[in-house]
Each structure stands twice: as structure tokens, then as C-alpha cells.
Amino acid sequence: MPDQPLPPYPPSAPTPQGRPTAITVICILGFIGAAFTVPLLFLPTTWKIAPWYAPYLAVAAGLGLVCMLGLWKLRRWALVLYTAFAAVNQIVLIATGLWNPMALGVPAAVVVIGFYYWKRLT
């Protein structure tokens, strides 16, 4: 058996393929959240917050769903759009007096996890 020369560097580990589990969980929770938002559109209390709030909530749920679908497909545009959407939503929540720490915590976690996997997104 002839001796073969060793490569000048060790072979690199293969790049993991597929959707990361964290992204999968985020997307599934996002799909569920969008579904739970639909009944809120028909509650009188939603319309009492501000005249524009229920239509905004409908658009926000649709935009969130689009972002989750894009993230499910590992698209960078989805993460960028979600980040911008989350920032605008913080302003809206502050303006309506509905802001609380969870309103920042969950989107921030999604953004941080998403950018952690940026190289896996296309």
C-alpha cells in the first residue's frame, strides 16, 4: 500500500444542510400566531384601541405570515423584512400604549436567531 501525502490542512466539516431547528420552531410559532390574530380582528376591544388599529393588525398578521413563509424557505429577504417590520411594530405598540417587554423580547429573539443563521439563508 503506497503512502499518500497528507493534505496541507485538515478537511473542513461539511456544511449542515436543511432548515435549522430553531428556524423551524420560530416559523411554526409564527404561523400559529398569525392564525390566532385573525379572531382578534373581530373583537370590539380591538377596534376601540384606535380606529386604524384593527386594519393595521390585519396587515401586520399578513406581513408576519409572509415573513415566516420566507424564513421557512430560508430566504434572507424574509429576515430583513421581519426586522424592519418588528421595528415599526414597536413604534406602533408604544403609540397605542400596548407595549410591554414581551413585545420586544420575542421579535428580538427571532431577529438574533435569524441573523445567527444568516449564512444558511439564501
Q: Would you say residue 6 lies in a domain?
A: no
Instruction: Count Cα neighbours of 95 within 13 Å in the Cβ-side half-sphere.
Output: 10
Average pLDDT over residues 10-33: 84
Q: Would you say residue 96 lies in a domain?
A: yes
The predicted structure's pLDDT at residue 62: 96
Q: How many domains does the chain contain in total?
A: 1
- 56-69 tens-digit pLDDT: 999 999 999 999 99
Confidence of residue 102 (pLDDT cuts 50, 70, 90): confident
Q: Would you say residue 8 lies in a domain?
A: no
Average pLDDT over residues 84-106: 93
120 secondary structure, DSSP code: G
Which residues span the domain enclosing 65? 21-120
Confidence of residue 104 (pLDDT cuts 50, 70, 90): very high
Average pLDDT over residues 22-27: 97
Instruction: Give the span between the Cα atoms of 100 and 93, in whole angstroms.
Output: 8
Q: Would you say residue 63 lies in a domain?
A: yes
Does residue 45 have a pLDDT over 70? yes
Q: Would you say residue 3 lies in a domain?
A: no
